[in-house]
Chains A and B, each alone.
Chain A
Amino acid sequence: MPKPTENDKKTKVTKDVTKGKIRIGNIEQEVDIETVTTPNNDGGYDTVVKLPFCPISAVKR
């Protein structure tokens, strides 16, 4: 899935998922971070970054 361009973001709702990592002690766990952009009336776009939580101790997900 190609990454949305700046023009895409200004003209249509886009969704993108990037891979982030959470470190719990010495263990790293991969998590999905979803980004949604929506064109606005100012010629730009609004961005919502949907985050995973940060567990202090390991939590089954």
Chain B
Amino acid sequence: MASGIYNRFKANLMNKVVDLEADTINVALYNNSHAFTATDTDYTTTNELATTGGYTQGGQALAGKAVTEAATTYWDATDASWTSATFTAYHAVIYDSTAGDDLICSIDFGGAQTVTSGTFTIQWHANGIISLA
């Protein structure tokens, strides 16, 4: 399994379809049957965690979205958290709800990530979620 950027997102950047600051961008959690396929185009509930244990299908909208312009330009957001959570997730998928649920990227957690009666937090990298050099 691997993380990666969907081809649809690359095209949306070039076609001025996506606005990573203004659009509603969601992050959803997936089970171990999910696999990153670059040619996938739209968000799906297939292999997404069920609506239970503190998780709701569709995921949650990212807050604090910001693009920082530099030699390596990057896009970042506030860390995503689910409270009162009991679940196991293997992947996160980010998609643009404003742009018809078009996929942006899939992130492999490297294995099972569990939480029990607690808060599950995805801490984005200090260099942002996506960077372009």
Q: Interface of A with B (CB < 8 Å)? A: 6, 9-10, 18-24, 28, 31, 33, 35, 40, 42-59
Please state if A19 and B116 are interface contacts (CB–CB under 8 Å).
no
Interface SS majority for chain A: strand
> What total of chain B residues lie within 8 Å of the partner, measured CB to CB?
38
Please state if B125 and A45 are interface contacts (CB–CB under 8 Å).
no
Known: A18-B111, A33-B109, A56-B132. A42 touches B36 (CB 8 A): no
- A35 to B4, alpha carbons, bound, how many Å? 20
8 Å CB contact of B4 from A23, A42, A47, A59: A23
CB distance from A15 to the nearest CB of B (A): 13
Contacts of B2 in A (CB 8 A): 20-23, 28
8 Å CB contact of A54 from B107, B110, B111, B118: B107
Please state if B123 and A50 are interface contacts (CB–CB under 8 Å).
yes
Contacts of A52 in B (CB 8 A): 3, 125
Please state if B123 and A55 are interface contacts (CB–CB under 8 Å).
no
8 Å CB contact of A53 from B1, B120, B129: B129
CB distance from B20 to the nearest CB of A (A): 12
Using a CB-CB cutoff of 8 Å, which residues 17-72 of chain B contact chain A? Answer: 36, 38, 72
CB distance from A35 to the nearest CB of B (A): 6
Please state if B116 and A9 are interface contacts (CB–CB under 8 Å).
yes
- A51 to B92, alpha carbons, bound, how many Å? 10
Closest to B10 in A: A56
- A49 to B133, alpha carbons, bound, how many Å? 25
Known: A44-B116, A55-B130. A49 touches B121 (CB 8 A): yes
11 contacts between A and B (CB under 8 A): A9-B116, A18-B110, A20-B110, A23-B36, A47-B118, A47-B121, A49-B121, A52-B3, A54-B107, A56-B132, A57-B133
